Structure 1
Amino acid sequence: MDVAVVTGASSGIGQSAALRIARRGTGVILTYSSNADGAGDTVARIERQGGTAVALRLDLADTAGFPAFVAQVRSALRDTFERDSFDHLVNNAGFAGMAMIEDTREEDFDRLTRGLFKGPFFLTQALLPLLADGGAVVNLTSNSTLPQVTAPGYSVYAALKGAVVVLTRYMAKEFSARGIRVNSVAPGATVTRFADDAFAKNPEIIPEMAKSFALGRVGEPDDIGMVVAMLVSEEGRWITGQDIEVSGGQNL
């Protein structure tokens, strides 16, 4: 059985990706930060569809905790999957932050940098010895990195996601010697718990926002999760080094 590590899979895009990957017969080691109930729900849903999953807590912004996390991954691989390696890594976990440039505090800048760039960089580095040759990595970015998208207040978030786009290309080049493919997926606005559950708290913004999508609606987690699952599967075997916008034509 192939095994995938999916970070931030207690809700939203990460949960969808974990479910879609599991539906293809792949075991899943998923992570969560504070939403233990959501992680338990993801595991239960995978098990109900006949799959196997393990949930581990991970603070992506705390690189000092990565060695202990890697040890937990090793144990889960051995005890649950009878493996000493895994095949796919989905770097989905992250969080948002919004402030105009003149109002951005250094501590908030540093917090976002740890969670959105430093964390995924060093987590991938830490897990690389366990990632099997011929595997795949998918990094979640954002269509906020694209030239036609400039949402005031998201300068730091977008710049860091842009850094991940560049990092994806370099990973694709450096990991290619081992046959490991690396791509990124850039969602548009998607109804998740993003930005402190903004969509649930302000549902009235959804119809107005939908007008900016060529396909006439705001994204759903499965719109993105299905693409992530494709990229780590056989169907994505000849795709690497790409940042793929999955946004229903937002701002087209």
Structure 2
Amino acid sequence: MKVAVVTGASSGIGQSAAIQIAKRGSGVILTYNSNELDAKETVRRIEQAGGTAVALHLDLGDTSGFVAFRAAVADALRVTFQRDSFDQLVNNAGFAGMAMIEDVQEQDFDRMTVGLFKGPFFLTQALLPLITDGGAIVNLSSNSAQPHTTAPGYSVYAALKGAVVVLSRYMAKEFSSRGIRVNSVAPGATVTRFADDAFAKNPEIIPELAKSFALGRVGEPDDIGMAIAMLVSEEGRWITGQDIEVSGGQNL
């Protein structure tokens, strides 16, 4: 059995990715930060479908905890999966932040840099010894980093997601000697709890936003989760170093 580590899988895209990867036969080690209850619900849904999953706590903003997290992953691999390595890593965990450039506070800039770029960078570094040769990594970028999408207020978020795209390409080059594929996936607007649950709090924005999608609707978590599952699976075996927009043609 292959095993995947999926960060931020208590809801939204991460939850979908974990479930979709499990449907393809992989065991899943999924992480949560504050939302343990929903992480356990992800585990329950995977187990209900006949899969195997373990939920571990991870604070992506605290890089000092990554060595301990690697030990927890190694323990879960040994106890639950009788493995000493895993095959698939999905760096999904993150958060949004919005402010016009003239209003950005330095502490918010630093917090986002750690959560969206430094955290995934050093988490991947920490977990690399546990990733099997021939494995696969998917990093979550965003179509906000694409030239055709420029939303005022998202300069820091989009710039950091752009950094993730470049990082993914360099990871693909450096890790290729071990046969590890690395790609990034760039979702468009997707109905999740992102941005402080903006869609649930403001459902009236959804029909208007849908007009910007060539396929006529706003994205759902499974639209992205299935693409991620494909990329880390055998079907994606000849794809590496790519940033793949999965957005239903937003702003096309």
Residues 54-203 of structure 1: pairs in structure 2 closer than 5 A: 54-203=54-203
In the alignment, residue 19 of structure 1 is paired with which amino acid?
A: I
Deviation at 1:148, TM superposition (A): 1.1
> What SS does structure 2 have at the residue aligned with 1:161?
helix
2:211 aligns with 211
1:15 aligns with 15
Work out the CA distance in 1 between the residues paired with 2:142 and 2:239: 19
Work out the CA distance in 1 between the residues paired with 2:48 and 2:172: 35
Identity of aligned residues (%): 83
Gapped regions of structure 2 (runs ≥ 5): none
2:239 pairs with 1:239: yes
> What SS does structure 2 have at the residue aligned with 1:98?
coil
Deviation at 1:135, TM superposition (A): 0.2
Gapped regions of structure 1 (runs ≥ 5): none
In the alignment, residue 50 of structure 2 is paired with which amino acid?
A: G
> What SS does structure 1 have at the residue aligned with 2:159?
helix
In the alignment, residue 117 of structure 2 is paired with which amino acid?
A: F
2:43 pairs with 1:52: no
Under a length normalisation based on structure 2, what TM-score does the superposition of the two structures give? 1.00
In the alignment, residue 114 of structure 2 is paired with which amino acid?
A: R
Q: Which runs of 4+ in 1 moved over 2 A?
A: none
In the alignment, residue 91 of structure 2 is paired with which amino acid?
A: N
Work out the CA distance in 1 between the residues paired with 2:201 and 2:101: 25
- How many residue pairs match? The answer is 252
Deviation at 1:4, TM superposition (A): 0.2
> What SS does structure 2 have at the residue aligned with 1:90?
strand
1:26 aligns with 26
Q: What do residues 106-153 of structure 1 show as CA deviations (whole Å, max 9, x unaligned)?
A: 000000000000000000000000000000000000000011111000
Work out the CA distance in 2 between the residues paired with 1:13 and 1:183: 16
Under a length normalisation based on structure 1, what TM-score does the superposition of the two structures give? 1.00
Q: What do residues 46-72 of structure 1 show as CA deviations (whole Å, max 9, x unaligned)?
A: 000000000001000100010111110
